[in-house]
C-alpha cells in the first residue's frame, strides 16, 4: 500500500477515528485504525465494538492495499506536522511496518494485520430518512446535557429519539433525563421517518455524531433499526449500537397544570445564578428563588462559606413563591435559550418546574426543586 495525502485531510480523518478508539482496551487491534487505499480514495475505519466510524478521503493512491496502525500515534504525528505538508504513507508487507514521510520527517510504525480488524456486521434498517444538519444539531445539542451518568440506570445514558404526537401533528423528538432534570426537543418529522422505531442513542455516539453536524449545508442520512443507528454524510459514516433498554414514560413527569408564570431574560438570569452560586457549598449548590410581583430575589446561604443575594426585575404576576434549585441545573437549562426570554412555569415549591423559550413549545425543560 502506498498513497500521498494532504496533511489537513489526513488529520481530519485520523482525529475522527482516534476519538472513537477507547484509550484503555484489552484487545490491541481496537487501538488501531484500519486504512484501506483504492481508486484514488482512502478509507479510515475505527471501532470500539459499539461504535464504528468510516471516513473516506480522496488521496493519490500509487499502490492499493490495507493495513492497521495505532490511531493515537498516527494522529499525534500528523497533528505535529507543518501545515500544508504532503504526507506519504507506505507499507512494505515484508517488514510489517508503515512508513510515514513528510518533508524531512520520517516515521516507521508497527502495524497489525488487517484480517484481525473487527468490522461491524451490516444490518437491515427499518427506517431511512434525511435530515438537515442544523435540525439534528438542535435536537441533540439541546437535550444531551440531561443525559444521566449513572451506570445503574443504563437506559438513561443516552438520548431517546422517536416519533411522537405534538399539537401540530407527528414530530421527530429527542428526550433525555437523569431523574433530576429532563429535556424534550421536537423537530419537523422528515419524510421517511414515520416508521422510525424509538431508540436510545448512547452518550458517546451523540458526541461523535455531533462532529458531523458543523456544516449548516450538510444533509445527514439517518438509518435506524431496533439495534443500530447510522448517521452518514457523503464522506463519513458513523454506525452505533443503541442502548438495549426501555426508556421510561417521560410524559408523566412533564407538568401540565403549572400556572405561575415567570418571564426573565435568560442571559441575565444565568449570570445572576452563577454569581450567587459562587458562595454555595460544593455538595448541594442550592439556590433559593423568592418571587414577588415583578421581582425575583436569588439567594444562597451556606453556613460554612457565606451568603449572597441578587435581585432581578422580571415579569411575574402571581402570588408569592419560594422555591429552591440546584444551581448547576438552572444554569444548564437557562443556557439552552437562544432567542427569547426564558419562561418558567411553577406550581408549588415541591413540584417540578417547566421552562421553555418564550411561547415556543418545541423545546421544553423540566427541573425538580430542592429543599433549601
* Domain assignment present for 239: yes
pTM: 0.93
Answer with the one of 63, 85, 112 that is the final residue of a domain: 112
45: how many CB neighbours lie within 10 A of its CB?
A: 24
Q: What is the pLDDT of residue 302?
A: 85
- Asked if 127 and 192 count as a contact pair (C-beta separation under 8 A), the reply is yes
Task: Please report the pLDDT score of residue 354 as a whole number.
Answer: 97
Alpha-helical regions (H) of 158-265: 203-210
Report pLDDT for 86: 97
Q: What is the per-residue pLDDT for 221?
A: 97
- Whether residues 259 and 335 share a domain: the answer is yes
Using the CB atoms, write b or e for 57-81: b if 16+ within 10 Å: bebebeeebbbbbbbbbbbebbeeb
Provide the pLDDT for residue 121: 84
Which ranges of the chain have pLDDT less than 70? 283
Q: Residues near 269 by Cβ (< 8 Å), separated by ≥ 6?
A: 312, 330, 334, 342
**pLDDT value at residue 53:** 97
Domain that holds residue 194: 127-252
User: What pLDDT, on the 0 to 100 scale, is given for residue 293?
Assistant: 93
- Residue of 219, 147, 229, 143 whose CA lies nearest to 180: 147
pLDDT of amino acid 122: 81
Rounded (5°) CA angle 236-242-243:
150
* Residue tagged 426501555 (cell numbers): 246
191 in any annotated domain:
yes
Residue 263 domain flag:
yes
The predicted pLDDT at position 281 comes to 75
Strand partners, 301: 307
121-157: pLDDT as tens digits: 888 999 999 999 999 999 999 999 999 999 999 999 9
Say what the pLDDT of residue 285 is: 84
* Residue 30 belongs to domain with CATH number: 3.10.150.10
For residue 117, being part of any structural domain is answered with: no
Looking at residue 59, its pLDDT comes to 97
The reply to whether 63 and 164 lie within a common domain is no
Please tell me the predicted confidence (pLDDT) of residue 58: 96
Residue 23 lies in a domain: yes
pLDDT at 123: 82
- Residues 6+ away with beta carbon under 8 Å from 279: 300, 302, 305, 306, 307, 308
Place of cell 435540525: 135
SS3 15: helix
372 within some domain: no
Structural domains of the chain, count: 3
The reply to whether 227 and 259 lie within a common domain is no
Domain C-terminal end among 252, 281, 300 = 252
Q: Let me know whether 236 and 136 are in one domain.
A: yes
| Residue 119 covered by a domain | no
Amino acid at each position: 500500500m502506498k498513497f500521498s495525502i494532504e496533511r489537513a485531510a489526513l488529520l481530519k480523518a485520523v482525529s475522527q477515528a482516534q476519538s472513537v478508539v477507547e484509550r484503555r482496551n484489552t484487545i490491541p487491534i481496537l487501538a488501531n485504525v484500519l486504512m484501506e487505499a483504492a481508486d484514488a480514495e482512502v478509507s479510515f475505519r475505527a471501532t470500539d465494538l459499539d461504535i464504528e466510524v468510516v471516513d473516506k478521503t480522496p488521496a493519490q493512491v500509487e499502490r492499493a492495499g490495507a493495513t492497521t496502525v495505532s490511531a493515537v500515534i498516527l494522529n499525534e504525528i500528523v497533528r505535529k506536522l507543518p501545515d500544508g505538508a504532503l504526507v506519504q504513507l507506505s507499507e512494505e508487507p515484508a517488514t510489517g511496518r508503515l512508513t510515514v514521510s513528510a518533508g524531512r520527517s520520517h516515521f516507521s510504525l508497527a502495524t497489525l494485520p488487517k484480517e484481525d480488524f473487527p468490522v461491524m456486521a451490516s444490518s437491515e434498517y427499518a427506517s431511512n430518512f434525511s435530515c438537515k444538519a442544523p435540525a439534528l444539531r438542535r435536537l441533540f445539542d439541546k437535550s444531551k446535557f440531561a443525559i444521566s451518568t449513572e451506570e445503574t440506570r443504563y437506559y438513561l445514558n443516552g438520548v431517546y429519539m422517536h416519533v411522537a404526537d405534538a399539537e401540530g401533528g407527528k414530530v421527530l423528538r429527542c428526550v433525555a433525563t437523569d431523574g433530576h432534570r429532563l429535556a424534550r426537543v421536537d423537530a419537523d418529522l422528515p419524510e421517511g421517518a414515520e416508521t422510525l422505531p424509538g431508540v436510545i442513542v448512547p452518550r458517546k455516539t451523540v458526541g461523535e455524531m455531533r462532529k458531523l453536524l458543523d456544516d449548516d449545508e450538510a444533509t445527514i442520512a439517518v438509518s435506524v433499526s431496533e439495534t443500530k443507528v447510522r448517521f452518514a454524510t457523503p464522506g463519513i459514516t458513523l454506525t452505533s449500537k443503541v442502548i438495549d433498554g426501555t426508556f421510561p414514560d417521560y410524559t408523566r413527569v412533564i407538568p401540565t397544570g403549572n400556572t405561575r408564570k415567570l418571564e426573565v431574560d435568560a442571559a441575565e438570569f444565568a449570570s445572576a445564578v452563577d454569581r450567587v452560586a459562587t458562595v454555595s457549598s460544593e455538595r448541594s449548590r442550592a439556590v433559593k428563588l423568592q418571587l414577588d410581583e415583578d421581582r425575583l430575589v436569588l439567594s444562597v446561604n451556606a453556613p460554612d462559606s457565606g451568603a449572597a443575594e441578587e435581585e432581578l426585575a422580571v415579569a411575574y404576576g402571581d402570588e408569592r413563591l419560594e422555591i429552591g434549585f440546584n444551581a448547576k441545573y438552572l444554569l444548564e437549562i437557562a443556557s439552552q435559550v437562544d432567542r427569547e426570554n426564558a419562561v418558567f412555569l411553577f406550581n408549588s415549591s415541591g413540584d417540578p418546574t417547566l421552562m421553555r423559550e418564550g411561547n415556543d413549545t418545541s423545546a421544553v425543560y423540566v427541573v425538580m426543586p430542592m429543599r433549601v
